[in-house]
Structure 1
């Protein structure tokens, strides 16, 4: 009686491992870019939702509301790198800084940024909305940047207060 043994030979296993060792490194950069793109999309949607929330709050409550960078989730910083975390609050005295008696709307922690830098325009350390839904100041651009300085997306807030997301060109740099 003849029995068949099931399994693989050592040569078959070594060949499979050699092919895998060649193909896996080829797929990793594409996979990393795909993950980075998903993280940028999720973060831009989260920030966009925060901007809409601040704007709605200003309109509904009939007063100013602010979104700003905040490492501690309690006070605004004047940093142009918003990757430290974000704070939104009702700005009753319209000074652009959160006072102890002003209500916090929401906080986004720095670890929610998922390794993506969020940079703002010079001279625009915060987004402030009036009770009519218009933003104060000039247009603002938030740039979502990769670790290697590639521009992933832009969030643009017009003077009229309308935020929008703009896809970046493949060759665009954050430092441009």
Structure 2
């Protein structure tokens, strides 16, 4: 008697079917859409931390330069690193320069000690106190005038602040205040 013919079980082809691939892409898309707002908030906090760090470092450098050189050193908002700009121009950059007594700008290009060009993304700005477009350090490291505050904002959202007191010390603050940057 002939032996019954046995059929070998069908093997499933390796890989994913079209339906399985579409479901995986759909799940991945939903997960990315849920995580995107958190990634944007993280990026905003990192940009603000970068601006606070750059400002704090250059302000501390200016104070140290004034003490070491026994001369007045100023920090002001500057776009190109040769001339001081207005109060609202801190978001385009700033410069540190040796300031002879009574001058409001560096006398020559070699008087500029440091220039920081901050390329802010759209909507970002650094705003200083009203009426304070520069900070001047005395040869003993103290700052002239009243405290200077620089607010770091994206649109009207306050992310941080850098404060320089009369003794010349720099303090950095982290904020997360919607509507807190109305300057």
| Aligned equivalents of 2:111, 2:169: Cα separation in 1 | 23
| 1:32 to 2:40 alignment | yes
Question: Structure 2 length as normaliser, TM-score?
Answer: 0.87
Corresponding residue for residue 6 of structure 1: 14
Q: How far is 1:110 from its partner?
A: 3.4
**Cα gap change, 1:169 to 1:39, in 2 (>3 Å):** closer
| Aligned equivalents of 2:27, 2:54: Cα separation in 1 | 41
Corresponding residue for residue 161 of structure 2: 154
May I ask how many residue pairs the two structures share in their alignment?
A: 174
Corresponding residue for residue 79 of structure 1: 87
Q: How far is 1:69 from its partner?
A: 0.7
Aligned alpha-carbon RMSD (Å): 1.8
**Cα gap change, 1:51 to 1:123, in 2 (>3 Å):** same
Contact 2:82/2:109 (8 A) holds in 1: no
| 1:93 to 2:101 alignment | yes
Larger Rg: 2
Q: How does 1:8-157 map to 2 (within 5 A)?
A: 8-100=16-108, 103-111=111-119, 113-115=120-122, 116-146=124-154, 148-157=155-164
**Cα gap change, 1:60 to 1:22, in 2 (>3 Å):** same
Which sections of structure 2, spanning at least 5 residues, go unmatched? 1-7
Which sections of structure 1, spanning at least 5 residues, go unmatched? none
Corresponding residue for residue 4 of structure 2: none
- Which region of structure 1 is more displaced relative to structure 2, 10-19 or 121-130? 10-19
Contact 2:72/2:137 (8 A) holds in 1: yes
Question: Structure 1 length as normaliser, TM-score?
Answer: 0.90
Q: How far is 1:175 from its partner?
A: 0.4
Contact 2:87/2:129 (8 A) holds in 1: no
| Aligned equivalents of 1:126, 1:85: Cα separation in 2 | 12
Corresponding residue for residue 174 of structure 1: 181
